[in-house]
Homo-oligomer: A and B are copies of this chain.
């Protein structure tokens, strides 16, 4: 039922990964049910089918990987919309069963992308340990919990779920790495504007001409709409047809973003709206919402509209 807050959540599994950790940062999900899915496609399809109210899936992550799948799944099939983003620091830990001293560790289970991210730490602290590839961070923690490996590289939530002790935390070579997740639902009225929102779009243009992309950016630029992300992907359908995934500052309810969206609708082969949602708030409050540029606030739009009305009726004086 539209407007009803979601209670049944699905997330990209398995349990004990960063996706679950991100989902649990949402109060409604902490209270509701949380079911792992085997893949992004499976998670989204369970929302489409009505088996879940919302799915938490990765959009971007500095480990590389799932972004493409999520974007492609969002761009095809029945429409879905993002209603919330969650950005999580990717803080890998080295975890082991209680009372395992670091020097005793001979085998470390890790997803290959996780061990890649922690290469420096492993070289410095466990130069002789054998790294065993496993399928996910959650599987690494589970394996260490069962005693199959001496230790695991995993998410903090994986360590606690499998009753492991954290021997070292923040072991990734890039301590600032983050993963950005999206909470995705069936279409409905977007969350109300907060003054600091993002809007995601899939924009199709007919050719890979720089001129076509320039036209898209000009539609945004003249309305003062900033891009925070742009990614091109060739579409499977036909050679020479491109889709651009854009994240723009602003909300579909804003006048200027609305005008920009209409412009894209007119000049592009197709535009799919992927949702307007509040931008992630950082506790440390580093980033501030960007105010509308001069001449582009809703007040400026209202002034210009009133002026146009006067022009059209001839009341210039």
Residues of A within 8 A of B (CB): 2, 38-42, 61-70, 72, 78-79, 81, 112-113, 115-116, 119, 133-135, 174, 176-177, 187-190, 208-211, 213-215, 217-222, 225-232, 236-237, 239-240, 244, 252-253, 258-259, 261-263, 265-267, 273, 286-287, 295-296, 300-301, 303-305, 307-308, 311-317
Contacts and interface: CB of A to CB of B under 8 A. Distances in A.
A258 B312 contact: yes
Copies of this chain per assembly: 4
A64 B317 CA distance: 27
B133 A189 contact: no
B116 A39 contact: yes
Contact of A265 (B67, B263, B307): B307
A222 B218 contact: yes
Given A222-B219, A229-B232, A236-B62, A311 B252 contact: yes
A65 B240 CA distance: 22
Contact of A220 (B68, B210, B231, B314): B210
5 closest A-B pairs (Cβ-Cβ)? Answer: A64-B68, A266-B295, A262-B304, A187-B316, A64-B69
